[in-house]
Amino acid sequence: MVVANAAFERVMETTDQWIEERTGIRERRFVDPGTAASDLGVEAARAALEDAGVEASEVDYIVCAVMTPDYYFPGSGGLIQHKLGIDPVPCLDIRQQCAGYAFGLQMVDVLIRSGAARTVLLIGTDVHSSMFPFSERTWSALTSSDGRGEAIDRDEYEWNSRYRNILVLFGDGAGAMVFRADEGGDDRGILGHRLRTDGGVIEALHMPGVGSLQRPMIRPGMYETGEWVPQMDGRTVFRLAVTKMPEVTLELLAGLELSLDQLDLLVMHQANLRINDAAQKALGLPDDKVFNNIQSYGNTTSATLPIAFHEARQAGRARQGDLVAFAALGAGLNWGAVLMRV
């Protein structure tokens, strides 16, 4: 279902204008209850396989970037393999949050270059709505097409408003790509990658509850404390994102002896349009060399890069032979850039 910014005005203290001015987001998609990350991942995988002209039976490795798996364990990769009807193949789940797909691209490159795999399915999928601390009344009010959903009381309105700065950012989504070992000798595919992790700033963006640091990790009263809702220091994340993504992109290009002028398109993680605008300005790239679609989807974490790349291809912004860079930063703190010739 598509949920516009204005719908949040019914359930928390915010406005359409406030959200768009601070994030660039106008709307996002939420799945129906009972739809999990693997379900979205399967649909994305099928679309990618069809687009690539590859049969599911040809896939010999699945890499799944996911922050909101169907279960605490195991991850969603194996469920996707089963639902696709693929014979047992290695399935690797990556938990690098918003940078997950960038890390997945590196893993794909390593797997294929080493000969460990020939046809790799890389999926990014997340269902963030499953983490929202909303009651059924709130969901009814939020998703009602005519605005006549069940009304919420003042206490519930104030509870929802506690998390407005983070919950308005997210949407549900999935994207996928298929990679094959090249026998033609051209230079299409992944050309290089630069990835970084700094655990020293983990508290800038993390979920404090439901982990082994707590004993037991699930305790009475956790719902009321909001420990299982993502917590973010927005100023710190903004500062890091607008410096780290341009920095690592330039490092990657320099390491490959390429210049920024040779880049045809930059696709950044879609977390906040203000972040991407600032990163674009730092790099000095014109608008026709940057692609954003956060306006329609919000932050789908692991899925932002493949969804944006798909839409860039559809719009004729990423053509065969183009040099496309992907850059992302997420909780961990993880960040990186990957260069691919389409």
Question: In total, how many domains does the chain have?
Answer: 2
Q: What is the structure's pLDDT at 88? A: 98
| H helices, E strands: number in the chain | 13, 13
Asked if 46 and 95 count as a contact pair (C-beta separation under 8 A), the reply is no
User: Is 160 designated active site?
Assistant: no
3-state secondary structure of 286: coil
Q: 320 with 205, same domain?
A: yes
User: Is 299 designated active site?
Assistant: yes
Catalytic residue among 5, 64, 98, 292: 98
Q: 324 with 236, same domain?
A: yes
Provide the pLDDT confidence category of residue 149 given band limits of 50, 70 and 90: low
Q: Averaged over 211-228, what is the pLDDT?
A: 89
Asked if 65 and 101 count as a contact pair (C-beta separation under 8 A), the reply is yes
CA distance 209 to 226: 8
Q: 77-84 vs 37-52: helix axis angle to the nearest 10?
A: 60
Q: 228 with 136, same domain?
A: no
pLDDT beyond 80 at 185: no
Q: E-assigned strands of the chain?
A: 2-4, 27-29, 61-65, 91-94, 119-126, 173-180, 189-197, 205-206, 231-232, 265-268, 290-291, 323-330, 334-341
- Burial letters 66-97, b for 16+ CB under 10 A, else e: bbbbbeeeebbbbbbbebbebeebebbbbbbb
Among 283, 223, 219, which residue's Cα sits nearest to residue 253? 283
Q: What is the structure's pLDDT at 209? A: 87
Q: 19 with 163, same domain?
A: yes
Q: Which of 58-62, 102-106, 211-215, 324-328 has the lowest mean pLDDT?
A: 211-215
Q: What is the structure's pLDDT at 151? A: 80
Q: 25 with 162, same domain?
A: yes
Q: 9 with 142, same domain?
A: yes
Q: Averaged over 73-95, what is the pLDDT?
A: 97
Task: Report if residue 172 sits inside a domain.
Answer: no
Among 178, 214, 202, which residue's Cα sits nearest to residue 56? 178
CB atoms within 10 A of CB 18: 15
Task: Report if residue 84 sits inside a domain.
Answer: no
Q: 239 with 323, same domain?
A: yes
Q: 216 with 293, same domain?
A: yes
CB atoms within 10 A of CB 155: 8
pTM: 0.96
Q: 194 with 298, same domain?
A: yes
Catalytic residue among 128, 193, 269, 310: 269
3-state secondary structure of 69: coil
Asked if 338 and 249 count as a contact pair (C-beta separation under 8 A), the reply is no
Dihedral angle sign, alpha carbons of residues 196, 197, 200, 202: positive
CA distance 98 to 330: 4
Query: In CATH, what number is assigned to the domain containing residue 326?
Result: 3.40.47.10
User: Is 193 designated active site?
Assistant: no
Task: Report if residue 254 sits inside a domain.
Answer: yes
Q: 152 with 265, same domain?
A: no
Full residue range of the structural domain in which residue 309 is found: 189-341
Q: CA separation (Å) from 307 to 79, 101, 164, 192?
A: 21, 11, 25, 21
